[in-house]
Amino acid sequence: MNMNIALVPGDGIGPDIVREAVRVLDKVAEVYGHSISYKEVDAGGVSIDKYGIPLTDSALETAASSDAVLLGAVGGPKWDHVPGNLRPEKALLGLRSGLGLFCNLRPAVIYPELADASPLKPSVISEGVDLLVVRELTGGIYFGEKGRNADGSEAFDVMKYSVKEIERIAKKAFEAARLRKKHVTLVDKANVLETSRLWRETVSAVAKEYSDVDLDCMYVDNASMQLVRDPKHFDVLLTENMFGDILSDEASMITGSIGMLASASLRDDSFGMYEPIHGSAPDIAGMNIANPVATILSAAMMLRYSFSLEKEARAIENAVASALSDGVRTRDIAATGEAAIGTAECGSEILRRIR
Ligand code: NAD
């Protein structure tokens, strides 16, 4: 297969970690007989420095004309003084909305070797945690009408969803579940919110097309408790924008390892943008100590969701798991007294385990 990938290294540790993900992708291409071409795109602080704005039209066009985008991270103290609408983070919003990405996937996995990093008791995570939050990204209360009354003493934000918006993300969740443990939990507040009742009706109707996948429904207040009480209940957690914003951060925290967590933002076709959930870590930029695993696992998600290369995606995930079980650790995940290796060395340890 030929893959055209736009690389957006961004700022801070972005270039360091994207470089390692590219080396791993190249190794996968070599082992499995694919070819990959890359185009590099400036976004974030680096684009502000060159062009005065965080995302140029031509950067967006290059990203849009690729098959998929791999992004490092943007931002840093150097650009803290720039006005709000020119901040580096605006590049992310520009890419997500400009590329029409409505579906955000955030896996949260606890590797047995890193279980100590989890703030949860060993008894709660003894059977492992491997869940995927599927969050609607372009609708709901964040995008609804908002305002104040004339004297400013009242404010409102409107939560609105259409059947079409719910259907398209529900399908993404069921399709993702088919590649996993075939269990979707819809998280909502259907006892109070009319939008949630529409989500339940619509998702239940979509579920009929996926009779091999189990569906259950949970109120968001209960889901936020169950994530820390019994996280193994969840396989795919499907939810609307605001609940997903909150629950995906909660799910990340239970793993305790920010340098390990990948994400994907998708649209209806196979196009997607893939990035680690962490930021640009300016405190460790250019020092060869950043953990590249989140970005390498984002590249695995790219192979799975944009190119349907499940075997190749698993080859990366297995290489990461095997490196961890052999004691490969960057500084952020090394226990006290445990030896740590650098970003590039970690990339090398993973790529030599690609089978
Ligand atoms: P951050 O995630 O960059 O860093 C938080 C802490 O985690 C830091 O101590 C950092 O060293 C550490 N860390 C993060 N990723 C790591 C990795 N791969 N390996 C080892 N350690 C890692 O969050 P922050 O400090 O709040 O933000 C820094 C900058 O990043 C800000 O400008 C912020 O706006 C931006 N940011 C960007 C994104 C993005 O591009 N998606 C997301 C969040 C924050």
- Residue ending a domain, among 255, 286, 303, is 255
Same domain, 130 and 228: yes
**Is there a domain that residue 111 lies in?**
no
Predicted TM-score (pTM) of the model is: 0.95
**Ligand 1 in reach of 349 Cβ (< 6 A):** no
Same domain, 247 and 298: no
Same domain, 237 and 289: no
Rounded to whole angstroms, how far apart are CA atoms 298 and 343? 16
Same domain, 281 and 351: yes
Same domain, 141 and 222: yes
167 within 8 A of 206, measured Cβ to Cβ: yes
Same domain, 101 and 138: no
Q: Which domain holds residue 151?
A: 119-255
- Residue ending a domain, among 255, 289, 321, is 255
3 within 8 A of 37, measured Cβ to Cβ: yes
Number of the ligand 1 atom closest to the C-alpha atom of 282: 28
What tokens does 273 get?
């943008």
Give the start-end residues of each E strand in the chain. Answer: 2-10, 35-40, 68-73, 103-110, 129-136, 146-148, 155-157, 183-188, 214-219, 236-239, 262-266, 272-276
**Is there a domain that residue 72 lies in?**
yes
**Ligand 1 in reach of 278 Cβ (< 6 A):** yes
Where are the alpha helices (H) located in 208-309, listed in sequence order? 220-229, 241-255, 293-305
Ligand 1 centre to CA of 284 (Å) is 9
* Res 85: pLDDT: 82
**Ligand 1 in reach of 244 Cβ (< 6 A):** no
Question: What is the total count of domains within the chain?
Answer: 2
Same domain, 287 and 224: no
Same domain, 126 and 242: yes
Same domain, 75 and 137: no
Which residues lie closer than 8 Å to 352 by C-beta, 6 or more apart? none
The domain that contains 139 carries what CATH number?
3.40.718.10
Ligand 1 centre to CA of 116 (Å) is 21
Q: What is the pLDDT along the chain (355 residues), one digit of tens a residue?
A: 999 999 999 999 999 999 999 999 999 999 999 999 999 999 999 999 999 999 999 999 999 999 999 999 999 999 999 998 899 999 998 999 999 999 999 999 999 999 998 999 999 999 889 999 999 999 999 999 999 999 999 999 999 999 999 999 999 999 999 999 999 999 999 999 999 999 999 999 999 999 999 999 999 999 999 999 999 999 999 999 999 999 999 999 999 889 999 999 999 999 999 999 999 999 999 999 999 999 999 999 999 999 999 999 999 999 999 999 999 999 999 988 899 999 999 999 999 999 9
**Ligand 1 in reach of 295 Cβ (< 6 A):** no
* Res 160: pLDDT: 97
* Res 103: pLDDT: 98
Same domain, 72 and 169: no
**Is there a domain that residue 113 lies in?**
no
CA-nearest residue for atom 27, ligand 1, is 279
Same domain, 249 and 274: no
H or E stretch including 348?
Answer: helix 343-351
Q: How far is CA 253 from CA 48, 107, 248, in A?
A: 31, 12, 9
**Is there a domain that residue 316 lies in?**
yes
**Is there a domain that residue 262 lies in?**
no
CA-nearest residue for atom 44, ligand 1, is 279
Same domain, 245 and 197: yes
